[in-house]
Amino acid sequence: MGRVPVKHLLASLVLLLPALAFADHELDNRDLRKGRALYAVHCASCHGAKLEGQPDWRRPGKDGIRPAPPHDETGHTWHHDNQYLFDYTRLGGKALFEARGLPEIQSGMPASVEDLTDDGIWDILAYIRSTWPDRIRQIQATTNPRHER
Ligand code: HEC
State which residues form the domain around 101: 6-141
Query: Which CATH number characterizes residue 14's domain?
Result: 1.10.760.10
Amino acid identity at 111: A
Residue nearest to atom 25 of ligand 1 (CA): 77
User: Which residues, other chains included, contact 108 with Cβ-Cβ below 8 Å and sequence gap of 6+?
Assistant: 46, 65, 66, 67, 68, 93
Residue 129 counted as domain residue: yes
Residue 117 counted as domain residue: yes
- Domains in the chain: how many in total? 1
List the pLDDT tens digit at each of the 149 positions of the chain: 556 666 666 666 555 554 444 555 899 999 999 999 999 999 999 999 999 999 999 999 998 899 999 999 999 999 999 999 999 999 999 999 999 999 999 999 999 998 999 999 999 999 999 999 999 999 999 999 876 55
User: Which residues, other chains included, contact 149 with Cβ-Cβ below 8 Å and sequence gap of 6+?
Assistant: 18, 23, 25
Using most ligand atoms within 8 A of CB, pick from 46, 58, 78, 115 the residue to mutate for ligand 1. 46
Question: Whole-prediction pTM value?
Answer: 0.86
Residue 148 counted as domain residue: no
